[in-house]
Structure 1
C-alpha cells in the first residue's frame, strides 16, 4: 500500500467549469497551463503541482482518489473547497 503520492490539481468553484477543463484535457490541453489559467488554489501558479504528500494529509475525498485512482488519468472530485480535477503522477 502506497504511503505517499504526488499529484497535480486544478481547483474551481463550479462543476461546469471542472467538466469543461476535463474536456479540454481529453482534447490534449496541457494540465499545467489549465491550472495556471483556472485554478483558485495557490498551487495553480505552479501548474497545479501539490508535490508529494502523505496518505491522510488531504481531505478524505481527495485522499481517496490520490491513493486509489488511476495514475495519470484526470479525476473529478468534490470537496468543501470546490471541484478538483486531479492528476496523480505517482505513488510510493
Structure 2
C-alpha cells in the first residue's frame, strides 16, 4: 500500500470553474499553465505542484483520491477549501 504520493492540483471556489478547467485539460491545455492562471492555492505559482507528501497529511477527501484513483488522469475533488482538480504523478 502506498505511503507517499506526488501530486499537482488546481484549487478553485466553484464547481463550474473546476469543470471548465477539466474540459480545457481534455482539450490538451497544460496543467501547469492552468494552475498558474486559475488556482487560488499558493502552489499555483509552481504549476500546482504539491511535491511529495505522506498519506494522512491532506484533508480526507483529497487524501482518498490521491491514494486510490488512477495516476496521471485529472480528478475532481470537493473539500472544505473548494474544488480541486488533482493530477497524481506517482505513489510510493
Structure 1 length-normalised TM: 1.00
Given the alignment of the two structures, is residue 23 of structure 1 paired with residue 23 of structure 2, yes or no? Answer: yes
Unmatched 5+ residue regions in structure 2?
A: none
Aligned residues: 92
Unmatched 5+ residue regions in structure 1?
A: none
Structure 2 length-normalised TM: 1.00
Runs of 4+ more than 3 Å apart: none
RMSD of aligned Cα (Å): 0.2
- Partner of 2:67, secondary structure, is helix
Given the alignment of the two structures, is residue 36 of structure 1 paired with residue 39 of structure 2, yes or no? Answer: no
